[in-house]
Amino acid sequence: MDGNILNIENNPGTVHIKDIPVLDYHLFVTEVDRLMTSGSSHCLTYFVVPGNDVYHFICFIADDTCGKILVLSHKQRPGSGLVLEPVTAKHFQFHIFEREIYEEYKINFSGHPWLKPLRYPYTGADKHQSIADYPFFRIDGDELHEVGVGPIHAGIIEPGYFRFICNGEKVLHLEIQLGYQHRGLEQLLTWKDSILRKTVLSENIAGDTAVGHALCHVQLVESLTGISVSRNLQTERIIGLELERIACHIGDTAALCADIAYQFGQAVNEALRTIVINTLQQWCGSRFGKGLLRTGGSHFPLTSAISELLQSRLKEVEERYVQMAERLFSMPSVLSRFESTGKVTARQAELLGAVGMAARSSGLKRDIRWSHPFQGYSEFKYEPVVLREGDVWARAMLRKNEVEKSIGIIRQLLPEIPGKDTVELPKYDIHLIPDTVAISATEGWRGEIVHVVVTGEEGKIIRYKVIDPSLHNWMALAIAMRNGEISDFPLCNKSYNLSYCGHDL
């Protein structure tokens, strides 16, 4: 391409910070517009690297057809009263990034339709803002009422606030306010700590996606230190990631059954999830895969004993899960709750920049394993599961299809594992390349996970950016609820099962 945009060919990939083209803001907007309208591209992340007297805005766009990551940037002088024309006006999926930048650096995107606080971080520019006074949208009318739920919910789940504006039972608008889970993770990841501590932190970004986030972090660090790992270790990492996907998808199938009061389906699926996570525990000691991923190596080789255990357990789980799913998807009482509930069209998903399951269940072919293969995924040409319906049924069915596919991947990979008792050991005494920007993306069970690190002098981390798929997808849940019934909310919510802590960081 031309000099306005830099291509990153690999995932993970690194660029020298000076090589990133810096454009005039107007040209930046024009170029982003051109990239976004030229086919299947979506924004991976857009954030600010704050300097003493300059803000460096860096934007990463994924081109799904050619497998490249495109980088462009602009610089602005900090200071109050900086007003920019929002990219959101042309491409709505930028709304979340511009909102984040507005909150952190008080940059006003005039004409942005949703310029409100995102997560009330302690580093926010406006110290007077309190999470208790979030400015909800309002509609006035005699026939309308509002329903507020949260931040604490009825079940054992994370906190978040949902406000519905309803006409009778019909939901006109749902607004989701998050931020309660903000732990300052991005800030912690820039602290002058050991790489081990950062890796353990990455496992806790979203504890249900410990493998997905840790893998994203680990390959990012490896790309910034020049460490390359063996094919064997890459294969083991893929198996870990797919196991996590299988466990979460089965767990979600159980939760969907619970929300439509199909207790039998819930009990059977819960027991199947237990088998999968207990197998993961027998491999690495943790039912969530915490501790499995380490930079440059692993403490937990996939021995032939574990390999055999995986084979037999997965055979059992597959057989029972498929049998259960076939029953589930053939019951009229289930279908009447799943079908046409919480519909999001492909056009809406595209506009929202939905990723992962939320995108694939609405007809978008968006999967990092396919478009930007990492670790060993390029070896076996992964073909994503895509469904067009965009409703709860599609999101449930997608899980079933992906469970079968993931079991297939593991079954295909297991014979390649030598099953030895040793594998390369982790490396912690490492130094990051200075003045570099590195980006890494993985496809966790929810969808695309992106980590970006910016290093300064002597490899010091000056910015660490984490994007959980939930950041993009929460808005899809809000849209799914429009014109639905308020009683459909638990079902829609579970069908997405988004992360609160992954969003709030």
Partner 1 sequence: MREFKIYRKHGRQYIRDLRKAVVAVPFHGRPVISGDITREEAERVAFICPGKAIQASTFNLDLGKCEFCMECAFMLPGKITFTNDHRMATNSREKLILSSGTNEPIHLDHEKIRKEIRSYFHHALKLRQVSAGGDNSAEMELNACGNVNFDMGRYGIEFVASPRHADGLVITGPVTENMADALKICYEAVPDPKIVILAGTPAISGGMYLSNPSINRSFLDKIHIDLYVPGNPPHPLTFINGILDLIGR
Stretch that binds partner 1, among 30-38, 175-183, 344-352, 459-467 (CB under 8 A): 175-183
Q: How far is the CB of 504 from partner 1 (least distance, A)?
A: 8
Using CB under 8 A, pick the residue from 92, 102, 164, 500 that binds partner 1: 500
Q: How far is the CB of 330 from partner 1 (least distance, A)?
A: 8
Q: Is there a contact between 6 and 15 (Cβ–Cβ < 8 Å)? A: yes
| Among candidate residues 117, 76, 123, the one with its CA nearest the CA of residue 100 | 117
Looking only at residues 353 through 412 of this chain, which bind partner 1 when binding is defined by CB under 8 A?
none
State the number of CA atoms in the 13 A half-sphere of 75 facing the CB.
Answer: 12
List, in order, residues 6 or more apart from 503 with CB less than 8 Å away. 119, 178, 181, 468, 470, 471, 474
Nearer to partner 1, 20 or 239 (CB): 239
> Residue 445: beta bridge partners?
none
Q: Is 57 helix (H, G, I), strand (E, B) or coil?
A: strand
Looking only at residues 405 through 464 of this chain, which bind partner 1 when binding is defined by CB under 8 A?
428
For residue 184, state whether it binds partner 1 (rule: CB under 8 A): yes
Pairing of strands 461-467, 448-455: antiparallel
Region of 375 on the Ramachandran plot (φ > 0 left; ψ -120 to 50 alpha; else beta): left
Q: Is 48 helix (H, G, I), strand (E, B) or coil?
A: strand
How would you write 462-492 as a 3-class SS string?
EEEEEECHHHHHHHHHHHHHCCCEHHHHHHH
Nearer to partner 1, 122 or 487 (CB): 122
For residue 152, state whether it binds partner 1 (rule: CB under 8 A): yes
For residue 117, state whether it binds partner 1 (rule: CB under 8 A): no
CA distance 259 to 271: 17
For residue 131, state whether it binds partner 1 (rule: CB under 8 A): yes
Q: How far is the CB of 502 from partner 1 (least distance, A)?
A: 8
Nearer to partner 1, 109 or 300 (CB): 300
Buried b / exposed e along 390-413 (16+ C-beta atoms within 10 A): bbbbbbbbbbbbbbbbbbebbeeb
Stretch that binds partner 1, among 11-19, 34-42, 173-181, 479-487 (CB under 8 A): 173-181
For residue 471, state whether it binds partner 1 (rule: CB under 8 A): no
Size of the site for partner 1 (CB under 8 A): 63
Q: Is there a contact between 504 and 100 (Cβ–Cβ < 8 Å)? A: no
Q: How far is the CB of 424 from partner 1 (least distance, A)?
A: 14
Binding mask 317-336 for partner 1 (x = CB under 8 A): --xx--xx--x---------
For residue 197, state whether it binds partner 1 (rule: CB under 8 A): yes
Looking only at residues 223 through 252 of this chain, which bind partner 1 when binding is defined by CB under 8 A?
251
The residues of the shown chain that bind partner 1, judged by CB under 8 A, are: 120-122, 131-132, 151-152, 154-159, 179-184, 187-188, 193-194, 196-197, 199-201, 204-208, 210, 251, 264, 267-268, 270-271, 274, 278, 281-282, 284-288, 290-291, 299-300, 319-320, 323-324, 327, 428, 499-501, 504
